[in-house]
């Protein structure tokens, strides 16, 4: 008796077909995994750009709200905004009242009055280089005055030493470093009796070539903003700079000054780009310009 053994296996064609089918299935599975990963990376880039942009806009808005009234100015290109930083403010006494009847208790605008009280507390210390401002009404005036440094009656000169004596009503004393120089005299009365303490100008510069937005402070005042419309020019003036945001694709500042009926408005628009992923942010800041 003879027996027959049947042998079974895959032909070459069947093997090729299986490999092709597995490749198709693997490609499809890869696409199912790749697309969500790409979407996640795109969303992550957008979120990071939004976070950077929002932080930049908050920082600019904070400086704008703290700026000296009527000190904001934007260069013609719309890429630079400048303001004068205030460290504090108060109301000055402009008349006698209660126990405050001495000449050194109230501010007299008809003479070079070097001693006067504040109505309450200043709540900040006075540092070398600080100046006092009363009734600034235009950016051109304040930048020209602090640059000329010629006792214009709105802002004290840089040779005026400020001394603060705490009390129920804080007391301010002005003294000239040069005894030959005449005492400073305020000439403009504020309707709200407001007085501000200022130290340095602040500029934000957009550089679209480098893709950066940079904050500068600590530089010397300039009457003409055209002298400080770039990072290089501000650095030459000894500014302290800090990068606010990178990956900047577009930027613009627009300032609409206020009037007696409404506050001013600063509109800031920035566009950030990362690997072709762009986000555009628009922020508006109310500016109270009551001097």
Q: What is the pLDDT of residues 165-217, one digit of tens each?
A: 999 999 999 998 888 788 999 999 999 999 999 999 999 999 999 999 999 99
Same domain? For 57 and 109 the reply is: no
Same domain? For 195 and 162 the reply is: yes
Mean pLDDT of 64-83: 96
Cβ partners under 8 Å of residue 253, min gap 6: 74, 78, 79, 80, 81, 204, 206, 266, 267, 268
Range of the domain at 149: 85-199
* Higher-pLDDT residue of 27, 168: 168
Contact 128, 61 (CB under 8 A): no
pLDDT at 29 > cutoff 70: no
Same domain? For 90 and 168 the reply is: yes
Same domain? For 77 and 217 the reply is: yes
Residue 91: phi and psi, rounded to 5, are: -115, 135
Residue 219: its pLDDT value, please? 95
Mean pLDDT of 131-135: 96
Q: H-type helices in 95-173, by residue range?
A: 139-148
Q: Is residue 49 part of a domain?
A: yes
pLDDT in tens, 245-274: 999 999 999 999 877 667 889 999 999 998
């Amino acid at each position: 008796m003879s027996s027959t053994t049947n042998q079974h296996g895959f032909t070459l064609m069947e093997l090729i077909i299986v490999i092709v089918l597995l490749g198709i299935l693997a490609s499809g599975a890869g696409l199912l995994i790749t697309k969500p990963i790409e979407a996640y990376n795109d969303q992550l880039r957008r979120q990071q750009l939004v976070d950077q942009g929002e932080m930049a806009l908050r920082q600019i808005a904070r400086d704008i709200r703290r700026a000296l009234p009527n000190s904001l100015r934007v260069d013609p290109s719309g890429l630079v905004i400048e303001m004068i930083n205030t460290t504090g403010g108060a109301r000055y006494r402009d008349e006698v009242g209660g126990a405050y009847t001495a000449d050194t208790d109230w501010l007299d605008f008809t003479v070079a009055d070097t001693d006067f009280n504040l109505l309450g507390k200043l709540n900040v210390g006075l540092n070398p280089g600080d100046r006092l401002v009363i009734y600034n009404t235009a950016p051109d005036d304040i930048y020209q005055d602090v640059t000329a440094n010629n006792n214009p009656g709105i802002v004290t000169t840089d040779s005026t030493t400020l001394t603060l004596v705490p009390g129920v009503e804080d007391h301010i004393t002005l003294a000239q470093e040069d005894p030959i120089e005449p005492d400073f005299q305020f000439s403009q009365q504020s309707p709200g009796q407001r007085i501000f303490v200022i130290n340095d100008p602040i500029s934000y510069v957009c550089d679209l070539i480098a893709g950066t937005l940079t904050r500068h402070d600590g530089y010397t005042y300039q009457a003409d903003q055209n002298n400080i419309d770039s990072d290089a020019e501000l650095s030459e003036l000894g500014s302290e700079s800090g990068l606010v945001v990178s990956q900047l694709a577009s930027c613009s500042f627009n300032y609409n000054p206020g009037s007696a009926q409404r506050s001013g408005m600063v509109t800031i628009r920035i566009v950030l780009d990362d690997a072709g992923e762009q986000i555009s942010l628009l922020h508006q800041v109310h500016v109270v310009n009551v001097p």
